[in-house]
C-alpha cells in the first residue's frame, strides 16, 4: 500500500535510505537503480521484459537517472549530494523526507494540531489586511 502513495522521487529517496541502512553512506547511481527496482519493481522495472512470474525482470536505469540528474533532480532540490563521479549520498533533508515518506504509508492516523487563539487571530488579521 505504501508504494502507491509515494511519488517517484520519494520512492528513489526511500531506496537510497535502504542502501544507507545497509551500511553504505555513499552509493553509486547503479546501486540506487538496483535498490529502487528491488524495492519498487512496478515503478522501476524495464517495461516489456517480464519473468515467468509476470514481474518486471530488469531495472530501468533511465527512470532513476532522470530523478537524480533531470530538470527537477533530487540533487537540485538538496535531497541528494554528489560526492564523486556517479557517486551520491543522502543529505539530512533527503533522509528526513525519506523517513517521512515511509511513515506516510503507515496506517497511523494523522496527528491534529492547532495554533491557539492568539496565533489564529493574528494570522486571520494578516489575511484580512491590505
Position 1 scores a pLDDT of 42
Cβ atoms 89, 79 nearer than 8 A: no
pLDDT at 34: 95
Is 74 in contact with 64 (CB distance < 8 Å)? no
Confidence (pTM): 0.74
Residue among 38, 25, 34 nearest 95 (CA): 25
Say if residues 63 and 8 touch (Cβ distance below 8 Å).
Answer: yes
For range 45-73, the mean pLDDT = 87
Most confident of the following: 47-51, 70-74, 85-89:
85-89
Q: Give tens-digit pLDDT for 74-130.
A: 999 999 999 999 999 999 999 999 999 887 655 555 555 677 888 888 988 999 987
The strand order across the sheet containing 87-90 reads 27-28, 87-90, 80-84
pLDDT at residue 35 above 80?
A: yes
Cα dihedral 81→42→60→32 (10° resolution):
30
The separation between the first and the last C-alpha atoms of the chain, rounded to the nearest angstrom, is 45
Q: What are phi and psi of 65, to 5 degrees?
A: -60, -35
Q: Which whole number is the average pLDDT over 52-80?
A: 89
Residues 125, 119: Cα–Cα separation, whole Å: 10
Instruction: For 16-32, write each residue's pLDDT tens digit.
Output: 999 999 999 999 999 99
Amino acid at each position: 500500500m505504501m508504494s502507491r502513495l509515494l511519488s517517484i522521487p520519494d520512492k528513489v529517496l526511500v531506496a537510497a535510505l535502504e542502501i544507507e541502512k545497509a551500511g553504505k553512506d555513499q552509493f553509486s547511481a547503479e546501486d540506487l537503480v538496483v535498490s529502487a527496482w528491488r524495492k519498487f519493481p512496478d515503478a522501476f522495472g524495464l517495461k516489456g521484459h517480464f519473468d515467468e512470474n509476470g514481474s518486471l525482470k530488469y531495472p530501468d536505469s533511465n527512470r532513476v537517472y532522470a530523478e537524480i540528474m533531470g530538470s527537477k533532480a533530487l540533487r537540485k532540490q538538496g535531497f541528494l549530494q554528489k560526492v564523486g563521479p556517479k557517486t551520491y549520498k543522502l543529505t539530512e533533508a533527503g533522509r528526513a523526507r525519506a523517513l517521512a515518506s515511509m511513515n506516510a504509508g503507515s496506517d497511523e492516523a494523522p496527528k491534529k494540531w492547532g495554533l491557539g487563539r492568539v496565533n489564529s487571530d493574528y494570522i486571520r488579521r494578516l489575511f484580512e489586511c491590505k
